[in-house]
Structure formats: structure tokens, C-alpha cells
Amino acid sequence: MRAVAFLTAVLLLSSSLMAQDYSGTSPSKVRHGQLSLNGYFKDMPSLSFYRGGEMEWSNILQNRLNFSYRNRQFRLAIELRNRMLSGDMVTDYGPFLEEMLKTDNGLVDASFVPFSNKNVMMHSNFDRFFIDWRSNNWQIRAGRQRINWGLNTVSNPNDLFNTYSFFDVDYEERPGADAIRVQYFTGDLSRIELAIAPQEKSKESVAAVMYAFNTSGYDLQFIAGYYRHKLAVGTGWAGHIKNSGFKGELTVFNGLEDQDSLVLVGAFSVDHLFGNGIYGMVEVLYNGGHKGFDPDLLMLMEPMSADNIFISKYAVTATAMYPISPLFSASLAGMYMPDISGYYIGPNLSYSLLTNLDVSLLAQYFSLNDADIPEMLAVYAQLKWSF
């Protein structure tokens, strides 16, 4: 109900803003706003194989709807993610899965399971709903949004507001945060951002400022704030060494009560597009907040937190992508986690069948050196129609 109330409030507020926009202008000069709807339908069947011969299958049928209204200064966005889950995932973990899907980690509860039985579960989630106002150098956005402070491709220690899981192949948009965000653009390439993401339990709230600017070919940023009852201070950069991209993010967390709990999370990466068309990226992560490893297949796909962003303390990731033709591309991601003697391999083949119809085949192989899940191979097929 709170979600409904919140959405109603957003809609009311937006309609009054729209009214303002039209007021005082003669009909011939009215600047019409733009309404748009886009999204996709996607089906993703998968098979998972475990050591010992156990096998599971599942299917996720997904529909995404992005509604947007915008005019010169104002924008309203409502984005809905609907998924129909079926297979062993639902049959075997039904109640647990339902509980997990129903839980909305944001301030507003906008995650629902409208329908479920022992074979099929429907999950609906408003994962973006915000109003955005822009005037001269100011931009203010309130509601559920993605606040992307990360600069690296895989690991983002600077991403205080909406951490994501690299292994979640189903969620390309990545989660958002319920927040108010004020941006003041101090120059063409510089800005100050203030963002506040309150939580019901105030100690889980996040509030931070960022100053970002560009100098000598580098994007630089400094962040400071309150992160779930810790003090967080960090920096990030995106520049280049010769012709290769060079990016990095460092954040230090310290408990406000437990002063000795200093934690450093840092990652840096290098990427390059080679003359033969291969794009390559290597990233090294140090996750100082690592608290032991408790593998759980469902949790592997869940985002962790900025001060403990990954399942291991160290990780080296390498990815390569090769466009075989304008329609067909292949990529490979590999990851090594030395402290838990784990590794991950993720190949991906994508093919464009028609202009808006894409098919892809991907796999995830985990070797986690763990008693419960020593090894797992999951193979996914994906058919996606964008509109």
C-alpha cells in the first residue's frame, strides 16, 4: 500500500509540475512534453549442473516497461520489471524464493509476488520511479533511481548507493536506490552531487557527497559520507596510460562506534581495444571488508554491500569481447579468487536475429572449493525482443 501511496504522490506532483509548465503560455507556444514507452520481452531458460550429476532447470520470462514523460525541464520515469519464474528453482525453493522476491531493500516497498504456486511464480518490481527537475546548472532527482558513482566495469567500491552482482545475468539494468539526489554542475565536466538514501532503520541509511572533475585527460572524483553507520571516504579516476584506459576506485570505511574497524576496498582496471577488434579488460580487486565465504547459489546473484562487495577478499577479472560480424559477437569473462581458491568462467555468444530481436547463449562455471557447492555449471539461452 505504501508503494501505491508513493506512486500516487509522484503522479500528483508530476501532474502539477506539468500544469505549471503549460501555464502562462499561449496555446500556440505550448511546448509539448514527450510521452514514451519502451522496454522488452525476454525469455531465459537455463540448466544448472552440479558435481555428482544433479541437474536443475528453470525459466524466466521477463517483461520490462519503461514509461517516461519529459519536457525541457522535467522528467517523470516509472519502470516496471515483471518476471514469470518457473522450474526447479520455484519447485525446490518456493517459499524461500517468494520471501526473497517479496523483500524490497528500499525505503518504499515496490516488490510484489502477485501470483505463485508450486510450479510458477510471478514477480513484479517497480525498480525505477522518480521525478527529475533540471534548471541551468541544477538537477534534482527524487525517487527510486540508479546513482552510479562507479567507474570500473566490474567492481565499484565508489558505488555507495546501489551495489550490484556481477553474476546476475538476468538483471542488466541493475538495482536502484530510493533517494534524493542533487547535482550542481560547476563546469562542463565537473559537478557536485549530494545524495541521501534514507532507510527505515536509520543506521542503514546512506548519505554522501561527491565532487567530480576532469583534468589532464583524467576524470577524478572524491566522495565522503555516511554509509550504514560507517564513515566512508573515497576517490576514483578514469583516464589512460598511452592508448589504454586506466580506471580505479578506492573507498575507506570506518565504523562510527567501533573506531578500529577500518576497511579498505579498492579496484583498478585497464582496458584496450586492439587493432584486430578485440576489446580486453583486466581488473584487480581488493575487498578489505571480506567476512568469510558462505556460498549460496541464490545469494551469488544478489548484490552485496559497498564495504564488502564481493564473495572473496581478492579477485582478478579478465574479459575479452570480439565482434565476429556486425550481428554476431563473442565474449569471455574469467575470474580468479586466490584467497578462496575459486574461479569463474563466463562465455557469451550473442546474435542479432532481426533488428530488435537478439538471441544469446551464455554459461557460468563456478569452482568455489566449497563443501556445499564445489562446482557448478549453468547454461542460459536468452531471446529478447526490444521495443
Q: Which residues bind other proteins (CB under 8 A)?
A: 34, 38, 40, 70, 134, 137, 139, 145-148, 150-151, 153, 172-174, 183, 185, 187-191, 214, 217, 219, 238-240, 242-245, 247, 271-277, 279, 319, 321-327, 329, 331, 333, 348, 350, 352, 355-356, 358, 360, 386-387
Nearest CA to 85 among 110, 119, 55? 119
Tell me the closest approach of the beta carbon of residue 176 to other proteins, in angstroms: 8
**What single-letter DSSP state applies at residue 308?**
B
Tell me the closest approach of the beta carbon of residue 360 to other proteins, in angstroms: 8
Strands 120-135 and 34-50: unpaired
96-122 CB burial, b ≥16 within 10 A, e <16: ebbeebeebebbbbbbbbeebeeeebb
Cβ closest to other proteins, residue 46 vs residue 319: 319
Q: What's the CA gap between 159 and 146, in Å, rounded?
A: 10
Q: Is residue 225 a contact partner of residue 251, using CB atoms and an 8 Å limit?
A: no
Tell me the closest approach of the beta carbon of residue 22 to other proteins, in angstroms: 19
Cβ closest to other proteins, residue 99 vs residue 172: 172
Cβ closest to other proteins, residue 205 vs residue 214: 214
Tell me the closest approach of the beta carbon of residue 219 to other proteins, in angstroms: 6
Tell me the closest approach of the beta carbon of residue 340 to other proteins, in angstroms: 25
Cβ closest to other proteins, residue 190 vs residue 254: 190
Cβ closest to other proteins, residue 105 vs residue 148: 148
Place of cell 571516504: 233
Nearest CA to 363 among 86, 153, 167? 167
Nearest CA to 184 among 251, 232, 136, 118? 136
Q: Is residue 224 a contact partner of residue 158, using CB atoms and an 8 Å limit?
A: no
Cβ closest to other proteins, residue 86 vs residue 152: 152
Q: What's the CA gap between 48 and 192, in Å, rounded?
A: 45
Nearest CA to 335 among 277, 270, 292, 285? 285
Measuring CA to CA, how many Å separate 286 from each of 200, 315, 365?
Answer: 31, 7, 22
Tell me the closest approach of the beta carbon of residue 208 to other proteins, in angstroms: 17
Question: In sequence order, what are the beta bridge partners of 169?
Answer: none
Cβ closest to other proteins, residue 229 vs residue 272: 272
Nearest CA to 122 among 172, 160, 86? 86
Q: Is residue 347 a contact partner of residue 361, using CB atoms and an 8 Å limit?
A: no
Tell me the closest approach of the beta carbon of residue 326 to other proteins, in angstroms: 3
Tell me the closest approach of the beta carbon of residue 346 to other proteins, in angstroms: 9
Cβ closest to other proteins, residue 186 vs residue 261: 186
